[in-house]
């Protein structure tokens, strides 16, 4: 059944649908973007492109970031939202080439389409996790948790500030036209407290994702022993107070309700929330440009071959239209040896 029909039937029975449910349905319903059988979603032929799909140097840079802190341990790799598995493949090969022993590979991937693709792609054993708590950690392992454009695909609720209250923005349909409505929210006081360091004015938009907060808490519960965490995403440190919802189809930005099928929906990531959740590990936030400049393997830094040129394109953000500058990397780790 088309996504549009499903959205309509929810609106018919409930009167409206929240932005978060709408995006979750559009991305992850059985016929949603990430589960559809369309072959090349994330590629130049598909709907959008990501750094690992452009160059393996992105993955090598993440490996160097990891290797600077850990080099003589068994490595348990865990990728959040691996998609095609290109980054996993690059990281696995690079770490092995640097004599690291990969003891286990775990993947958190919600899309059944990508899970099937990943099963076929890799010859080594993979632990597919439905939930982070399912991870099986061994004593001697260091956990290397990484992701690219994972957190931006976690959906969020949107609220509008009016007359000193937050109202939830929802989608409804009137006279056959979709429109946004504002509904009173029981969370209004909670949100004012949660974001009390900010001053909001009428018509400011707030994005708040309980799903993201739950994922961060799940992560906290597995980051107990030696670990290195590195996530790259597009987002912000200070609330932009406007909608960051982005719809991409066939490499073009489109507007909400222009169409309903084959669209990737994403939100800017609140890096400040991640920093605060893990502040005891002193997270480091750098731009994607700094990540590659600082951690690109030396031999590639010196050459200007094809792959290096591609990496430089990522650095300058040309490939990501207007978003290149908003790509950031957050990393932190715990190494008991440093005690
Ligand atoms: C924008 S794609 C990025 C894919 C890949 N990391 C890359 O850089 O090409 C987001 C990926 O995260 C997965 N994903 C999104 N939300 C998820 C969730 N809540 N749990 C597990 N996987 C999720 C999607 O299925 C998809 O594979």
The answer on 163 and 140 residing in a single domain is: no
Say yes or no: 148 and 280 in one domain. yes
Express each pLDDT in 125-136 by its tens digit.
Answer: 999 999 999 999
Q: Does residue 145 sit in the same domain as residue 248?
A: yes
313-324: pLDDT as tens digits: 776 666 665 565
CA proximity to 269, closest of 203, 215, 224, 322: 215
Q: DSSP for 305-326?
A: -HHHHHHHHHHHTGGGGGGGGG
Query: In testing the pocket of ligand 1, which one of 27, 33, 48, 150 has its CB within 8 Å of the most ligand atoms?
Result: 150
**Cα of 147 from ligand 1 centre, angstroms:** 8
Please check whether residues 167 and 133 belong to one and the same domain: no
* Structure-token pair, residue 255: 């507007």
Q: How confident is the model at residue 339 (pLDDT cuts 50, 70, 90)?
A: low
Q: Quick one: tokens of 66?
A: 């990891």
> Which atom of ligand 1 has the smallest separation from the CA of 152?
1
Question: Quick one: which atom of ligand 1 is closest to the CA of 83?
Answer: 27
| Same domain, residue pair 164 and 218 | no
**Whose CA is closest to atom 4 on ligand 1?**
83
Cα separation, 79 vs 321, in Å, equals: 26
> b/e for 222-259, b at 16 or more Cβ within 10 A?
bbebbbbbbbbbbbeeebbbebbbbbbbeeeeeeeeee
For 91, list phi and psi in degrees, rounded to 5.
Answer: -70, -45
Give the number of other CB atoms < 10 A from CB of residue 193. 8
Pocket test for ligand 1, best of 83, 129, 154 (most atoms within 8 A of CB): 83
242 lies in the same domain as 287: yes
Relative to the CA of 264, which ligand 1 atom is closest?
A: 1
Closest protein CA for atom 24 of ligand 1? 81
User: pTM (2 decimals)?
Assistant: 0.95
Domain extent, residue 169, equals 3-29+157-207
CATH (domain of 283): 3.40.50.12710
Q: Which atom of ligand 1 is nearest to the CA of 81?
A: 12
User: Which residue's C-alpha comes closest to atom 14 of ligand 1?
Assistant: 81
Regarding whether 241 and 130 lie in a shared domain, the answer is yes
Phi and psi at 278, nearest 5°, equal -115, 30
pLDDT given for residue 141 in this prediction? 95
Distance CA 164, CA 188 (A): 9
Q: How far is the CA of 12 from the centre of ligand 1 (A)?
A: 30
Mark whether 297 and 178 lie in a shared domain. no
Same domain flag for 215 and 96 = yes
Is residue 64 over pLDDT 90? yes
Q: Are residues 92 and 198 in the same domain?
A: no
**Whose alpha carbon is nearest atom 17 of ligand 1?**
110
Say whether both 18 and 130 belong to one domain.
no
Please count the structural domains in the chain: 2
Residue of minimum CA distance from atom 27 in ligand 1: 83
Do 318 and 198 lie in a common domain?
A: no
CB-defined site of ligand 1, < 6 Å: 34, 42, 50, 52-53, 81-83, 87, 108-111, 114, 148-150, 153-154
pLDDT in tens, 206-225: 999 999 999 999 999 999 89
pLDDT computed for residue 311 by the predictor: 74
Atom number in ligand 1 closest to CA 48: 1
Separation of 34 CA from ligand 1 center, angstroms? 8
């Amino acid at each position: 059944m088309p996504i549009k029909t499903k959205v309509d039937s929810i609106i018919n029975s409930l009167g409206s649908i929240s932005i978060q449910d709408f995006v979750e349905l559009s991305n992850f319903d059985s016929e949603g973007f990430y589960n559809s059988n369309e072959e090349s979603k994330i590629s130049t032929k598909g709907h959008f492109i990501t750094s690992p799909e452009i160059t393996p140097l992105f993955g090598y840079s993440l490996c160097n970031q990891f290797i600077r802190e850990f080099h003589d341990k068994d490595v348990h790799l865990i990728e959040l939202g691996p998609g095609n598995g290109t980054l996993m493949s690059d990281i696995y090969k690079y770490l092995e080439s640097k004599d690291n022993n990969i003891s286990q590979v775990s993947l958190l991937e919600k899309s059944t389409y990508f899970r099937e693709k990943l099963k076929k792609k890799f010859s080594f054993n993979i632990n597919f996790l439905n939930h982070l708590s399912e991870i099986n950690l061994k004593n001697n392992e260091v956990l290397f948790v990484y992701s690219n454009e994972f957190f931006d695909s976690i959906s969020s609720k949107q609220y509008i500030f009016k007359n000193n209250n937050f109202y939830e923005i929802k989608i409804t349909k009137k006279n056959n036209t979709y429109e946004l409505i504002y509904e009173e929210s029981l969370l209004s006081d909670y949100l004012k407290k949660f974001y009390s360091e900010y001053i909001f004015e009428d018509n400011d938009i707030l994005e708040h994702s309980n799903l993201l907060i739950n994922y961060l808490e799940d992560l906290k519960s597995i980051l107990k022993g030696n670990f290195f965490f590195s996530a790259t995403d597009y987002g912000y440190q200070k609330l932009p107070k406007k909608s960051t919802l982005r719809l991409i189809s066939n490499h073009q930005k489109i507007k909400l309700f222009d169409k309903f099928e084959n669209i990737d929906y994403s939100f800017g990531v609140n890096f400040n929330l991640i920093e605060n959740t893990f502040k005891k590990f002193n997270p480091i936030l750098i731009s994607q440009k700094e990540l590659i400049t600082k951690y690109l393997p030396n031999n590639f830094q010196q050459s200007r071959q094809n792959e290096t040129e591609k990496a430089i394109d990522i650095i300058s953000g040309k490939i990501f239209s207007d978003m290149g500058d908003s790509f950031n990397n957050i990393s932190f780790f715990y190494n008991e040896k440093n005690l």
